[in-house]
Amino acid sequence: MLYDHVLLLAYGSPATPQEVKPYLESLIQAKELAPDCLAEQMDHIVKAGGSLPQAKAIEKLAEKLEKMLSALGYQVPVFYGMRHGQPSIANALNLVKKRKGIRGLAVILSPHKSELTYERYTQAVDAARTAAGVQSVQYEYLKVRHNHSLFIQAWADQARAAMRKLSMDQREFVHIVFTGRAIPRSIAQLCDYEKEVTSTTQQVAKDLNHPKWTLAYQSRLDAGKETCTEPDISSVIPLLNKEKERHVLVVPIGLVAECLETRYDLDIDIRKKAEASGFGFMRAEMPVENPKFVLSILDMLAEKLKG
């Protein structure tokens, strides 16, 4: 077998109040959060509940994939690690070391490729290999396929589930806002990030066959300090037609699991702005536990493992 293990890579979030400070310090060290934004970010985490369930969701995903791979005849352990937060990538690689892993498939749980959503994960793994003393372990990197049919169907499922909370008559007045993660324009210009976000949006919209939708970007880092991918969701919602649209359904296709960007940026900040503009607010649940999403990852892994 070409590969002896799988490593899932996620951005991370604090799973307990005790993890908040180390999490934010990690962001600052990686220059993904300005030191003068520390207090604001801390406040956002507190308002979002003080802890976030991302690590548990990724743990469940790893367990499901390991069982499903075993059922297909591939006896490979599935580890997981966070770029920021616990369990860290270095912790995961210590487990790989104990299992005498040599060559693995590393799956970046981000659907749209850019330096921020791909290369920084490979760099984090390189640093963790050194920290864990496993420089000889080699990885082939995969990411969530932004146009995989099962990934598209999973997001369509999540959007439909949210729509079902409204009556049939109310659904006519829903405007769907698909969101990608905002990244600096200087980075977006060097890759196909925006094309991939657009492709996912168009395919999910086609599956839903809902006529009223918009693509926007969310969760700008250090808002206002650098030009980012646009339009920003906060500027899109006030421009919607209040006579024809009464509810906003946000479908964050740039993310796969609950995190601060969903629990605070959307559920608290954007909800407040939508309601202030006279719209009801809904947000599709994340697809990480949707069977079709799990199968989309399994499909990628099985394709590689069968050689």
The pLDDT of residue 233 is: 97
Contact 293, 260 (CB under 8 A): no
Mean pLDDT, 10 residues at a time, the chain of 307 residues: 94 89 89 86 90 92 98 97 94 96 97 96 96 94 98 98 95 97 95 98 98 95 75 95 91 97 97 96 98 98 93
The pLDDT of residue 36 is: 86
Sheet holding 280-283, edge to edge: 213-218, 174-181, 247-251, 280-283
Alpha-carbon span 161 to 87, nearest angstrom = 31
Hey, which bits of the chain come out as E strands?
5-10, 78-82, 103-108, 138-143, 174-181, 213-218, 247-251, 280-283
- Of all helices (H) and strands (E), which one includes residue 136? none
Amino acid at 42: M
Tokens for 165?
Answer: 């909370």
Q: Is there a shared CATH topology between the 5-145+290-305 domain and the 149-283 domain?
A: yes
Residue with tokens 């548990």: 56
The pLDDT of residue 249 is: 98
Q: Which CATH number fits domain 149-283: 3.30.565.10, 2.60.40.1940, 3.40.50.970, 3.40.50.1400?
A: 3.40.50.1400
Is CATH 3.40.50.150 what the domain over 5-145+290-305 is classified as, yes or no?
Answer: no
The pLDDT of residue 223 is: 47
Backbone CA torsion sign across 130, 63, 85, 115: positive
Tokens for 299?
Answer: 């499909």
In the chain, where the domains are located: 5-145+290-305, 149-283
